[in-house]
Amino acid sequence: MKWGGSMNLIRIAIFNIKKKKSAAASLAILILLASLFLNIGLNISSNVTNFYNNKVEELHGPHYIALFENNNYSPAYSDYFKQDDRVVESETEEVIFMEQADWTNSNNNSGKMQFYTIAQNMDRKSKLGGYKLTEQIDVPDDEGIYLPVSFKGFNYKLGDKLKIEYKNEEYSYTIAGFFETTVFGTRTTGMFKVYLKDKAYENLYEKVGGAKLISARMKDSTMSNFVAKDFEKATKEMITSTDSLQSVLTIDNDEFQISNVLTAQMVAKFLVIFSIIIVIISLLVVRFRIRNDVEENMINIGTLGALGFKSKEILSIYIFEFVFIALVGVIGGIACSYGIMPILSNSLTNLVGALWINRFHPIVDIETLLSILILIFVISYLCAKVINKYPPIVAFHGGIKGHNFRKNYFPLEKGIRNIHFKLSLKGFMSCLHQNIITGAIILGVTFATVFCVVLYTNFGNDYAALGRIAGVEMCSLEIETTKNAQYEKLNKEIEGMKEVRKTSNLDSAKINVDDIEIDTKISDDFSKMNTLSVYEGKFPKYKNEIVITGVLAEKLNKRIGDTVTVRSGGYSSKYIISGFIQTTANQGKASLISSDGIKVIKPGYSKRKINVYLNEGVDEQVFIKTITDKYGEPTSDNNSKYETNENDKYSRVKKKAEEKVANLLKLYNVDSVEYSLMVDGKIVVSENSNAYKIEKITDSKTEMDSSLGSIRTVISSLSKVISISTMLIIALILSLMIKAMIIKRKVEFGTYKAIGYTTRQLMIQIVLSFMPTTIIGTILGTIIGYISVNPILTAGLHSAGVSKFEASINVMALIGVVILIIVFTFLVAMFEAYKVKKISVYELLTE
């Protein structure tokens, strides 16, 4: 084909596009939507991990962190890192650690939020701080606080007044600046770090006390996990007690990376999946258009053939036409994605904790462009190939007779009387091919909508599903008793309170399973759990049973029924694997053991934690007040009453005193006692015995809201965007199909009108002819969505440690989706079919 010939073909293709402008525009919009979602999805998924890793380097952030309360820290820990060859830099800093501090911004109504908070001294200029200020204002040094940039997602602004409540004390600050960081900068770890100038830091330190933060950078960040394991192994040898490493927390680079990028990756994957659905819909539309066009323009095709055009050249016209439309759509979609990314940047910044800078991403753009264009090219070629069957003379005789019916479907002389219904069924059969495509498209968009509904109900509205995949037990409150408190008595009292629906026991400890250090949860009865669940097998009931994660099982090459060796301190025993759980924490490694089971390797174990599940409508804070009124303030809070600069010594003494008094109460079965203890002339303790039952109360629900709120916001927004897009797609497709149908059947409709059918009757005929496929497509799409949503989400979240995702699927919501789509389709079809009214019979017959 010579260039002049190609130009001629392109000219004809453009002429064809102009002839059917609105159909071309509809297809271009579909492809634009597909490209938009695909480009954004690919951009985020291919860049977010690199973005994070580059930020770690840019900000010189740590690859490993360990946080210790001062009384649990040993200088040997810091020395370890100095000696390890894999570590190029390490640092130990004094920081302030506040467990479950309550944050309130009096300048907005984001409400009270609860976080674990680390406060660091900005004036100290740590080597491995891993942060950079992005904006700041002038605020006096004693009241300025600097927050991670993700706080802007909570609507926090410079100059806002912030109140932090911790252990019955309030600390007021003014937001002086925001910073980006790769460490404790996002909600997903549940912990935030803040910076204070020296004066403010010292004021807070005086009241709260300190903790030790060890940070380390490796030659190769991928070594962080190995360094972490070796450190934990080594420190066990340094500790004399039977317990494992007494850190508040340790996190390595892999865990930081996962926690910071997981949500963004998940969102990106959903966008890509949705874009694939739209691409498939677009391909179906192209197929329909080409087949329809070949049928309608058989004479023109014959004319071209008669004029000397080869079949290949006529085929090329179709390819040029649709590739050109696709090109316009893809370029539009890519351009729109650049326009939309700045809006998404804020969300991405909030998710990752560092300023997301939008850059030109030519490789992703090319991937989007080529993948869609190639698909359109292929489908156009395959569909237009049918032209080869029709040389001119065959084409002139209308080669494809779309209505070579051998069967007169729904004969009017038989069956139900209603002629309009029968005629609509006849219309349905006469455009069966088109209706099948419409049905397939409606199936696709229904599937996408179902997906969104499931996402929204499981991630955007309620945390149960998140709890199941995170391996977390969701309850209202967690009460930790003191070591020697009468657990069973206290549990029974709390369970009997009118506000409480039920209680359960769930402790945690560190154990070693086949030489892998993991966290384990311990309970006397796992069947009482709400969200913590096994996805295969059963909970451990007997003392030789253990449940491990699927990820750990894969690593150890174990199945249900196999045994593992569990060690703690100097004890070890074999346990049979009774089931599998999953968790996104600790790289997917965790276990469950019964209370009897843990005592085999931890003889000193005693139950400590009570999960409290409150009745509907009971406020957590109000209930906490009820508990503290009855049992006194938690002992962990009581430290604050007597804080001094030498708090380490006093807290150790106080702890010992508490244990002795509690033991005394237990030993002599005394109900209550009043006492006080003086050390160095200062009263360290002065309480009654109620103060020794509860060590800590955690508002789990509020904590969960705080840490998972960002995921909820993102998923909720994503669901809305996709749902609106699916409605738009339905409207576009119906507009295209009905318009094509009216044009194709215009003589038929003209004849009906001439015979005496009214416009309304024809509209109903048109709409009813679409409804069978709409109903079938919607129902099938819902069923397929229902069946496949869990496998798809499992595959999508596998990298986060999820072995089996089990979304709770609200059947009523799905029925609602079916009804909504059917009603929406009906209304749009009626609206489009109304166009029949505007055409006069005369025009229809003489056009």
Q: Is 754 in the site for another protein (CB under 8 A)?
A: yes
Instruction: Name residues whose C-beta falls within 8 Å of residue 214's C-beta, 6 or more positions apart in sequence.
Output: 64, 65, 66, 67, 68, 77, 78, 81, 90, 91, 92
Among 408, 508, 615, 663, binds another protein (CB under 8 A): 408
Pick the piece of the chain touching another protein (CB under 8 A) from 43-51, 67-75, 404-412, 627-635. Answer: 404-412
Q: Is 767 in the site for another protein (CB under 8 A)?
A: no
The C-alpha atoms of residue 568 and residue 510 are separated, in whole angstroms, by: 8
The C-alpha atoms of residue 749 and residue 742 are separated, in whole angstroms, by: 8
Q: Is 234 in the site for another protein (CB under 8 A)?
A: no
As a whole number of Å, the end-to-end CA separation of the chain is 36
Q: Which is nearer to another protein, 20 or 753 (CB)?
A: 753
Among 307, 343, 755, 811, binds another protein (CB under 8 A): 755
- The distance of closest approach from Cβ of residue 16 to another protein in the complex, given in angstroms and rounded to an integer, is 24
Q: Is 397 in the site for another protein (CB under 8 A)?
A: no
List strand residue ranges (DSSP E) for 71-112, in order. Answer: 87-105
Q: Which is nearer to another protein, 639 or 759 (CB)?
A: 759
Question: CB 187: neighbour CB atoms within 10 A?
Answer: 27
Q: Which is nearer to another protein, 72 or 751 (CB)?
A: 751
Q: Is 751 in the site for another protein (CB under 8 A)?
A: yes
Question: CB 291: neighbour CB atoms within 10 A?
Answer: 18
Q: In 3D, which of 341, 186, 358 has the Cα closest to residue 258?
A: 186
The C-alpha atoms of residue 137 and residue 134 are separated, in whole angstroms, by: 11
Q: Which is nearer to another protein, 542 or 842 (CB)?
A: 842
- The distance of closest approach from Cβ of residue 416 to another protein in the complex, given in angstroms and rounded to an integer, is 10
Among 299, 378, 622, 747, binds another protein (CB under 8 A): 747
Residues in the chain: 847
- The distance of closest approach from Cβ of residue 298 to another protein in the complex, given in angstroms and rounded to an integer, is 14
Pick the piece of the chain touching another protein (CB under 8 A) from 52-60, 418-426, 517-525, 806-814. Answer: 418-426
What string marks each residue from 782 to 821 as x (binds another protein by CB under 8 A) or -? ----------------------------------------
Q: Which is nearer to another protein, 297 or 790 (CB)?
A: 297
Q: Is 765 in the site for another protein (CB under 8 A)?
A: no
Q: Is 374 in the site for another protein (CB under 8 A)?
A: no
Q: Check: CB of residue 39 under 8 Å from CB of residue 365.
A: yes
Q: Is 405 in the site for another protein (CB under 8 A)?
A: yes
The C-alpha atoms of residue 87 and residue 89 are separated, in whole angstroms, by: 6
The single-letter code of the amino acid at 400 is: I
Q: Which is nearer to another protein, 408 or 615 (CB)?
A: 408
Q: Is 750 in the site for another protein (CB under 8 A)?
A: yes
Q: In 3D, which of 782, 794, 784, 791 has the Cα closest to residue 820?
A: 782
Among 228, 278, 348, 423, binds another protein (CB under 8 A): 423
Q: Which is nearer to another protein, 677 or 845 (CB)?
A: 845
- The distance of closest approach from Cβ of residue 301 to another protein in the complex, given in angstroms and rounded to an integer, is 20
Among 2, 18, 417, 498, binds another protein (CB under 8 A): 417
- The distance of closest approach from Cβ of residue 733 to another protein in the complex, given in angstroms and rounded to an integer, is 23
Q: Is 42 exposed, middle or buried (0-12, 13-18, 19+ CB in 10 A)?
A: buried
Pick the piece of the chain touching another protein (CB under 8 A) from 254-262, 421-429, 508-516, 699-707. Answer: 421-429
Beta bridge mates, 686: 676
Residue with tokens 């904006």: 135
The DSSP annotation for 433-489 comes to HHHHHHHHHHHHHHHHHHHHHHHIIIIIS-SHHHHHHHT----SEEEEEPTTS-HHH
- The distance of closest approach from Cβ of residue 750 to another protein in the complex, given in angstroms and rounded to an integer, is 7
Q: Check: CB of residue 56 under 8 Å from CB of residue 287.
A: no
Q: Is 419 in the site for another protein (CB under 8 A)?
A: yes
- The distance of closest approach from Cβ of residue 429 to another protein in the complex, given in angstroms and rounded to an integer, is 7
Q: 457-477: buried (b, 16+ CB within 10 Å) or exposed (e) per residue? A: bbbbeebbbbbbbbbbbbbbb
Q: Which is nearer to another protein, 587 or 765 (CB)?
A: 765
List strand residue ranges (DSSP E) for 131-248, in order. Answer: 131-136, 144-148, 161-166, 169-181, 191-196, 211-218
Q: Which is nearer to another protein, 602 or 753 (CB)?
A: 753
- The distance of closest approach from Cβ of residue 840 to another protein in the complex, given in angstroms and rounded to an integer, is 6
Instruction: Name residues whose C-beta falls within 8 Å of residue 433's C-beta, 6 or more positions apart in sequence.
Output: 288, 291
The C-alpha atoms of residue 251 and residue 265 are separated, in whole angstroms, by: 20
- The distance of closest approach from Cβ of residue 384 to another protein in the complex, given in angstroms and rounded to an integer, is 25
Among 362, 496, 617, 756, binds another protein (CB under 8 A): 756
The single-letter code of the amino acid at 819 is: I
- The distance of closest approach from Cβ of residue 295 to another protein in the complex, given in angstroms and rounded to an integer, is 13
Q: Is 2 in the site for another protein (CB under 8 A)?
A: no
Q: In 3D, which of 525, 635, 581, 645 has the Cα closest to residue 804?
A: 581
Q: Cα 14 to the chain's mean position, in Å? A: 44
Among 239, 340, 429, 653, binds another protein (CB under 8 A): 429
Q: Is 626 exposed, middle or buried (0-12, 13-18, 19+ CB in 10 A)?
A: middle
Q: Which is nearer to another protein, 241 or 846 (CB)?
A: 846
- The distance of closest approach from Cβ of residue 421 to another protein in the complex, given in angstroms and rounded to an integer, is 12
Q: Is 296 in the site for another protein (CB under 8 A)?
A: no
Q: Which is nearer to another protein, 298 or 722 (CB)?
A: 298
Q: Which is nearer to another protein, 278 or 425 (CB)?
A: 425
Q: Look up residue 674 and give its two tokens.
A: 């009043």
Among 403, 527, 669, 811, binds another protein (CB under 8 A): 403
The C-alpha atoms of residue 548 and residue 579 are separated, in whole angstroms, by: 7
Q: Is 743 in the site for another protein (CB under 8 A)?
A: no
The residues in 818-847 that bind another protein, with binding defined as CB under 8 A, are: 837, 840-842, 845-846
Q: How many residues bind another protein (CB under 8 A)?
A: 34
- The distance of closest approach from Cβ of residue 749 to another protein in the complex, given in angstroms and rounded to an integer, is 10
- The distance of closest approach from Cβ of residue 422 to another protein in the complex, given in angstroms and rounded to an integer, is 9
The C-alpha atoms of residue 37 and residue 34 are separated, in whole angstroms, by: 6
Residue with tokens 């002139």: 396
Residue with tokens 């309360």: 69
Distances (CA, A) of 383 to 184, 315, 765: 55, 9, 29
Query: Where do contacts with another protein occur on this chain (CB under 8 A)?
Result: 401, 403-405, 408, 411-413, 417, 419, 423, 426-427, 429-430, 747-748, 750-760, 837, 840-842, 845-846
